[in-house]
Amino acid sequence: MIRPLIVTALVLTAALSAADSAEAEVRSRKVAYTHDGATLEGHLAWDDAIEGKRPGVLVVHEWWGLNDYARKRAEQLAGMGYVAFALDMYGKGQVTSHPSQAGEWAGMIRKNTDKWRARANAGLQVLLDQDQVDRDQVAAIGYCFGGSTVLQMAFADEPLKGVVSFHGALPTPTEEEAEVIDASILVCHGAEDSFISEESIDSFRNALEAAEVDYQLVYYGGARHGFTNPEAGTFGIDNLKYDAAADRRSWAAMQDLFAEIFDEEK
């Protein structure tokens, strides 16, 4: 059992420079697919200098939709040697910067848990179908709405070795769902995130503890919702704020988890 970890320091800076300066071998392409009558379009990224199969990482976007931020994260992962697929939860071209529209779209997905999980699984299948991907070595990461989405995938016992939620909501699994969780779970949470109540955190933790799930819950002191996104402060919501230290540290925590679950040398 991995017990919850509290982290409270804030230092240094980090952003997406690694993605922007990725080596020339990193390639990407759009991938069209469908689910439940919806036309979806995700973003696949890989390093074509690497031969053979390698771990795959699914990326689930914030409630804004599949935007440049999620695509850059996929390319950043590709530069680290993974095959990454940033899925599309809403539909081709459905991207917004307006909170009311984002909330409406996310709400439509979340109102039916089975369909929510099925939509995410459709993206996972695209990743699993890639020839370069080792189907036994796959993880999923998500931001905000995407964070709660990857947790739902873990609750549904999708074939994932690990899931990472960055500033996501923390839905509580049922007792039956918690018992079947095989994925290692990492939750990276801003300690000053007013969107996520302590009651919901306690409920989430208690369910995982009771089922002896392998999980980590890391608090970043002073960090608010959206702390990994450099554009978080541009949406006009007080609780959204980028935090360079929390961004860097949470990404490092993700890398540590991947090294463990994929049995990689550091």
What pLDDT, on a 0 to 100 scale, did the predictor assign at position 264? Answer: 79
What pLDDT, on a 0 to 100 scale, did the predictor assign at position 9? Answer: 36
CATH code that applies to domain 5-261: 3.40.50.1820
Mean pLDDT of the chain: 92
Helices 113-128 + 145-155 axis angle, to 10: 90
Domain residue spans of the chain: 5-261
| Segment 54-93, tens digit of pLDDT | 999 999 999 999 999 999 999 999 999 999 999 999 999 9
> Do the beta carbons of residue 13 and residue 7 sit within 8 Å?
no
> Do the beta carbons of residue 89 and residue 138 sit within 8 Å?
no
> What does the CA dihedral 66, 70, 72, 76 come to, rounded to 10 degrees?
-140
pTM (whole model) above 0.85? yes
| Segment 21-52, tens digit of pLDDT | 444 589 999 999 999 999 999 999 999 999 99
